[in-house]
Amino acid sequence: MTSRTIKLGGTDTMVGAVAHGLMLMTWTPNPVSDEQAFESIKAGVDALPSGTKAFLNSGEFYAMDRGTANLQLLSRFYSKYPEYADKTYVSVKGSIRGGMEFLRASVENIQSALGPNKKLDLFEPARIDRDTPIETIMSNLVTLVKEGKFSHIGLSECNANTLRKANAVHPVTAVEIEVSPWAYDENQKAVISTARELGVTVVAYSPLGKGYLTGQIKSTSDIPEGDIRSGLTRFKEGNFKSNWGIVEGLQSIAAKKGVTPAQLSIAWVASLGPHMLPLPGSSKSSRTLENLYAGDIKLSAEEVKAIEDILAVYPVVGDRYFGGAEQALLWG
């Protein structure tokens, strides 16, 4: 049983201090079985205090064909275990277009795939549409909330100024950005600071550096064929080796503290503020629990400083994604 919980921004909803990312249950050449996926989800829910919901993160396009396989998996889960609907809070990323016709189609497609046993809790455009003013995007989302399509509004990959403008239209419950020991630059710092000021939860995705910071991927040959990570610049051969000093440093600190490197990274993200909600992914119940228990780990000032020192010695090499046109979609 884990103990720490957090309240989602601007709501009365209490969730576990570590969220559960579901992407790689389906966005992989070899999707996991329903049995394994369901046990992974249930393990996280069952370890939470009574009255606390598990924050589950899905996407309209989390599949190799960019389809709704992830949501369909959740639909089967809630069909088999309807009692878990009220014990979970589902956040889903959808359309990157901000016009009403695109947002409505996305939300309706999500709910259709999610099925009748679970209502969408939070919807967030997967990226900020730079061709549509954020005020217009928010007004469109507010209309959909009033229609009962979903309960809360989230944003993804937005900058601090956009978050402030959006929140002035309607309270934003959560903002999802990448945060980890190797993804903590000025943009992250600005969003985290602004979110805290505004009372917005920061859902910090990839707190384990897409698995790299766990130390379990020891070379590029450990990445399965077809895995999306094989195209990421930080996982390219030369960069992979250059960044390994970060992993070794984290392993040393984790060993001294008696935790895993994954737990250390999650605890570090959580240490950035009471509004931080680390979002590691997991498709195994054992890993779900390992991640969840990291929410109860407290880092000393000395341990935080030691992590900062490692990052100063080993600056990260490579972009956050593929080093191409997708960079223009970040920090909208």
Catalytic residues: 62
Query: What is the token pair recorded at 143?
Result: 């209309």
Secondary structure (DSSP) of 244-312:
HHHHHHHHHHHHHHTS-HHHHHHHHHHTT-TTEEEE-B-SSHHHHHHHHHGGG----HHHHHHHHHHHH
Q: How far apart are CA 186 and CA 190, in angstroms?
A: 6
Query: 153 with 121: CB under 8 angstroms?
Result: no
> What is the separation of C-alpha 319 from the centre of its chain, rounded to a whole number of angstroms?
18
The residues that bridge with 20 in the sheet, in sequence order, are 56
Query: 213 with 261: CB under 8 angstroms?
Result: yes
To the nearest 10 degrees (0 to 180), the angle between helices 285-293 and 34-46 is 30
